[in-house]
Structure 1
Amino acid sequence: MIRFDDRVAIVTGAGAGLGRSHALGLAARGAQVVVNDLGDAQSVVAEIEAAGGAAMAHSADVSDADQVADMIAQAMDRWGRIDILINNAGILRDKTFAKMTLDDFRKIVDVHLMGSANCCHAVWPVMRAQGYGRIVLTSSGSGLYGNFGQSNYGAAKAAMVGLMNVLHLEGARDNIRVNTLAPTAATQMTENLLPEAALALLQPETITPGVLYLVSEDGPSRTILSAGAGTFAQTRIFETQGYMLEGDITPEAVAKNWHAITDATGQEELQDAFAQTRKYALRAAKAKGGTLDW
């Protein structure tokens, strides 16, 4: 059984919806939980304590690094460690790109991207010193696939994947595992966007079990877990084998060979940016009859 006894977890945006579900799920399996929310975090703390668990509330605005630092300091003062961070806090300011102000674009990026970065940056030295950490970033289908009227939200949510990829690489030696959740859930953020019948099926409680696995001791790293209504799937990014243009490297040559460039046969996952660079450089060297010591 997956348990979190003696583990300390922070869940941002945990006053309602997905965050509340994650916080309750962690507490039910033994974790001590910091319930972060600008709204009613205390009611979730009360639920956890009524069930015999341990929790504390903190109202940090995740886009404010100083407030986040205070939250981490209070958690350390109370429990002396932080094992799990679930970045869940978020807001919406939907409009088409033509009608959106850059202030609204910037605010979404500040909350979702900078908010996640602030929290990760604050817990990073704690987790490194412990030699243990589990982090979840929250993306969205809007970030992975796009959604009309959500250019700000989609851009910020797509950024979660890039942040995960780098933190996974940098955290590996210190046993810090970093994953991304891409949920579809009935929450305050989606209640006006989805039909009633769908909302009834897409309850947060159907998603939290996947998150609990991601932050467990034996959970994976660098995984995009998509989830909704009890279905869990892995989203992966592939690169085609591609086609090397020899001699005639022009836009016309790209157009002429577009089918070969986009052919999915043999496509693969690349483990870091240099894997892509090596792929291209080695192929070019081979085409010229040479080799690279790489």
Structure 2
Amino acid sequence: MAGMMEGKVAVVTGAGGGIGREIAIMMAGAGAKVIVADIGASLTGEGASASPAEQTKQMIEQKGGAAQICTESVASWRSAQKIVQAALDHYGRIDAVVNNAGILRDVIFHKMTEDDWLSVIAVHLNGSFFVSRAAAEHYRKQESGTFVHMSSTSGLIGNFGQANYSAAKLGITALSKSIALDMARYNVRSNCIAPFAWSRMTSSIPATTPEQQARVAKIQQMTPDKNAPMAVFLSSDAAKGVTGQVFGTRMNEMILFSSPRPIRIVHRAEGWTPETIAEHCIPAMQAAFMPLDRSGDVFSWDPV
């Protein structure tokens, strides 16, 4: 029986390990020809090696799938163009892009450097834009194509020590929605996944206290492969009509996230002054304020 992605060509960035590798393997298993795009850098973005991408390619081929590698960086316009061009050069078309590449520079906000900020934004947010933009011209001409972008609950909800990462990941959700709106006329779809998994990207979570160790133990149960089915579905024709959404994949749970919408409005016919805001507006709204919580506070139950 033909797979859900039979005849399609997919680019998966950051596919040299973790979630990206599992997505690339499952896409190939579903019939897609895959460009395994990975620069092979460290968790913090230093260095480069073709080995991670080659390993993924070999794993795909051992299962009977088709894959080629590309070791260009997502973090510049020209190199992102080369990633998409690799799909055209090897397979003659491009049908799906999964923007998964990422690095971490976790540090508390008041100690975050310019380089910490710019490096993370460059890979996550700029990279998602650059690769998507490179594919967009081909999608528009063929009037079809899909984007799956990796967001995070660090951006959707919040987390400690990740101002750079959180800003990039929340920005990606807005980018995805804009792509969905702008390219709907060309039958192009764009969605986000906020994945939960123990991988290189989460291995830096501190585990020095009993509470931290218990949290890490829960995350370690959530293997990267649990996130691949949603990425494959969203990239397939079976997801026709699904666009502009943000999904979460947590162990065996599938989550649909809301987007910000007005939740309370206060009107004053005379207009507002700072004093009347303090006296009337804020007291009327305060019960609906969002708490200063983080991802672990919202997802407090054990993954099953």
Bucket of the pairwise TM-score, normalised by the shorter protein? 0.7 to 0.9
Greater relative contact order structure (CA < 8 Å, 6+ sep): 2
Partner of 2:270 in structure 1?
247
**Is contact 1:240-1:262 (8 Å) kept?**
no
Offset of 1:138 from its aligned partner? 0.9
Q: Residue 257 of structure 2 aligns to which amino acid in structure 1? A: T
For structure 1, the residue ranges without an aligned partner over 5 or more in a row are 265-294
Q: Deviations over 1:203-235 (max 9, x none)?
A: 011111122222221321011001221211111
Partner of 1:291 in structure 2?
none
Are 1:223 and 2:245 counterparts?
Answer: yes
**Is contact 2:19-2:228 (8 Å) kept?**
yes
* Matched length: 264
Are 1:208 and 2:228 counterparts?
Answer: yes
Q: Residue 23 of structure 1 aligns to which amino acid in structure 2? A: A
Give the whole-Å Cα distance in 2 for the aligned partners of 1:222 and 1:208.
Answer: 19
Are 1:187 and 2:199 counterparts?
Answer: yes
For structure 2, the residue ranges without an aligned partner over 5 or more in a row are 41-51, 208-212, 289-304
Partner of 2:6 in structure 1?
5
The alignment partner of 2:238 has SS state of coil
Q: Residue 267 of structure 2 aligns to which amino acid in structure 1? A: M
Give the whole-Å Cα distance in 2 for the aligned partners of 1:263 and 1:138.
Answer: 32
The alignment partner of 1:98 has SS state of helix
Offset of 1:262 from its aligned partner? 6.3
**Is contact 2:12-2:23 (8 Å) kept?**
yes
Partner of 1:82 in structure 2?
94
Partner of 2:60 in structure 1?
48
- TM-score, with length taken from structure 2: 0.83
Give the whole-Å Cα distance in 2 for the aligned partners of 1:87 and 1:187.
Answer: 16
**Is contact 1:191-1:199 (8 Å) kept?**
no
Match for residue 257 of structure 1 among 277, 281, 290: 281
Give the whole-Å Cα distance in 1 for the aligned partners of 2:164 and 2:178.
Answer: 22
Give the whole-Å Cα distance in 2 for the aligned partners of 1:211 and 1:153.
Answer: 21
Q: Residue 32 of structure 1 aligns to which amino acid in structure 2? A: K
Give the whole-Å Cα distance in 2 for the aligned partners of 1:167 and 1:259.
Answer: 38
Offset of 1:104 from its aligned partner? 0.9
Partner of 2:134 in structure 1?
122
Give the whole-Å Cα distance in 1 for the aligned partners of 2:19 and 2:177.
Answer: 23
